[in-house]
């Protein structure tokens, strides 16, 4: 207990010495006005991309673009692909309802990538006359092409190719581009 009282007394004795060291006259300072900022550069961002005009090398950046340090778009190399696999009954060109979703997905894909065009390949089985199979292959590709066109895709973006086996005993495939 005695130790605690001694410490408190010492602390009280030091305080009056510190407060008596300054006077009211010494506490007064001359008024210094708030400094005016001397702005060297224009901090305006006209295209709203977060890069000021003084540093922005690309002044018309599209909203929401990913940018580099100079305010220019970063181009992302993205590869997307989508394939159709539509199966037909023997000697038929009728697209079953189960495959309509694939056609809609392809149309949506082409709408998302408007500079993309596709090639639709039509096939026929090895069974049957090769000339008839070639016509069947072409007709199948054309039916799929028309279904995609009906979903809002321009015809010039869709090319068809008919593929059929010439001889059932041969592995040679005949390629005939059809427009």
Structure confidence by residue, pLDDT tens digits, 19-70? 555 567 777 778 888 888 776 667 788 888 888 888 888 888 877 788 888 8
**Ordered alpha helix ranges (H), 39-164:** 100-112, 130-149
Digit-coded pLDDT (tens) for 87-146: 999 889 999 999 999 999 999 999 998 988 899 988 888 887 888 888 999 999 999 999
**Of all helices (H) and strands (E), which one includes residue 161?**
strand 158-165
For residue 1, is pLDDT > 70? Answer: no
Q: Residue 14: inside a domain, yes or no?
A: no
DSSP tag of 158: E
Q: Closest Cα to residue 126, out of 168, 93, 92?
A: 168
Residues 71 and 104 in one domain: no
Residues 71 and 134 in one domain: no
Residues 59 and 124 in one domain: no
pLDDT at position 22 is 58
**Bridge partners of 121?**
161
Residues 70 and 104 in one domain: no
For residues 63 and 75, give the distance between their C-alpha atoms in angstroms, rounded to a whole number: 14
Residues 69 and 142 in one domain: no
**Spatial CB neighbours of 139, under 8 Å, sequence gap ≥ 6:** 93, 122
The CATH number given to whatever domain includes residue 105 is 3.30.1330.60
Q: Residue 137: inside a domain, yes or no?
A: yes
| Domain count within the chain | 2
Tokens representing 10 are: 């010492």
pLDDT at position 165 is 59
Residues 108 and 173 in one domain: yes
Residues 62 and 104 in one domain: no
Q: Residue 109: inside a domain, yes or no?
A: yes
**Of all helices (H) and strands (E), which one includes residue 19?**
helix 2-19
Residues 110 and 161 in one domain: yes
Token pair 């500079």: residue: 115
> Which domain, by its residues, includes 56?
41-77
Residues 119 and 171 in one domain: yes
Kindly give the pairing relationship between strand 118-123 and strand 173-178.
unpaired
Residues 70 and 120 in one domain: no
Residues 56 and 122 in one domain: no
Ramachandran quadrant class, 151 (left: phi over 0; alpha: psi -120 to 50; beta: rest): alpha
Digit-coded pLDDT (tens) for 122-138: 888 888 788 888 899 99
Q: Residue 58: inside a domain, yes or no?
A: yes
């Amino acid at each position: 207990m005695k130790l605690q009282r001694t410490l408190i007394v010492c602390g009280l004795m030091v305080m009056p010495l510190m407060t008596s060291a300054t006077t009211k006259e010494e506490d007064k300072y001359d008024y210094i006005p708030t400094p005016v900022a001397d702005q060297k550069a224009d901090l305006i961002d006209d295209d709203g991309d977060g890069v000021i005009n003084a540093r922005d090398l690309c002044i018309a950046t599209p909203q929401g673009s990913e940018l580099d340090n100079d305010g220019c778009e970063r181009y992302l190399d993205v590869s997307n692909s989508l394939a159709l696999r539509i199966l037909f009954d023997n000697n038929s060109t009728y697209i079953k309802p189960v495959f309509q979703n694939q056609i809609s997905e392809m149309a949506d894909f082409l709408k998302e990538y408007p500079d993309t065009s596709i090639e639709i390949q039509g096939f026929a089985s090895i069974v049957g006359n090769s000339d008839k199979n070639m016509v069947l292959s072409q007709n199948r590709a054309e039916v799929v092409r028309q279904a995609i066109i009906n979903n809002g895709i321009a015809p010039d973006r869709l090319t068809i190719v008919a593929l059929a086996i010439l001889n059932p005993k041969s592995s040679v495939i005949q390629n005939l581009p059809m427009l």
